Structure formats: C-alpha cells, structure tokens
Amino acid sequence: MSHEAEALPIGLCFRVYAALLGLTALTVGAAFLDMSFFNTPVALGIASIKALLVMYFFMELRYSPKLTWVFMGSSGVFLFIMIMLTMSDAISRGWLGVPGK
C-alpha cells in the first residue's frame, strides 16, 4: 500500500521556514545569555526542534510508514542517551579535583 506524497502548500512552507528562522534567532540569542551549564542543553533542545520540523515537513516523514517512525524514534532515544552520558561526563569532570595538588 503506497501513499503518494502531496506537495506542501506554499504558505505552509513559508511558515515552517519562518519557524526555522525564529528558532535560529532564538539559538543565537540564547548563546549570548549566561545560563551556566544550561547553555548546551538549551541549544541542543532548540536544534532538536529544528531537526524535527525539517524531518516532518521537508523530508516528508508524515507520509512514511509506521516502521520508519519507529526507527526515527529509536534513533532519537539513543541520541538522547548518548548526549546525556556525554553531558554527565562533562559536568562531573571537576568533582574529584586534580590528584597530587
């Protein structure tokens, strides 16, 4: 059973484009704020929203079979796990101090 992907209406394309531009401006604005160690998670969260918009609308994920959704979702979960493990390592590096000093 094959679905023929419909062309996106031009108005929707411009709205998604404006949302992507707004999120990019939000990322730049967040880079200038001092949020301590929350800078990276905020930037990654905004980047994830932008990636989801691109996948859903421009890569036509909404017309894909459910198995594609499962693979995309599991990839996102594992990416989240990898980012959290990396962030926990980066945050905890200074906890033990430098030996011998």
Q: What is the pLDDT of residues 78-94, one digit of tens each?
A: 988 998 898 888 888 77
Q: What's the pLDDT score for residue 38? A: 86
Domain membership flag for residue 30 = yes
Domain count, the chain: 1
Q: Give this prediction's pTM.
A: 0.72
pLDDT class of 73 with cuts at 50, 70, 90: confident
Domain membership flag for residue 98 = no
Q: What's the pLDDT score for residue 4? A: 65
Kind and range of the H or E run holding 29: helix 10-31
Calpha distance 40→81 (Å, rounded):
15
Calpha distance 24→46 (Å, rounded):
8
Domain membership of residue 86 as a residue range: 10-92
Q: What's the pLDDT score for residue 27? A: 95
Domain membership flag for residue 40 = yes
Calpha distance 5→65 (Å, rounded):
12
Which residue from 56, 52, 51, 54 is spatially nearest to 5, judged by alpha carbons? 56
Domain membership flag for residue 39 = yes
Q: What average pLDDT score do residues 46-72 get? A: 89
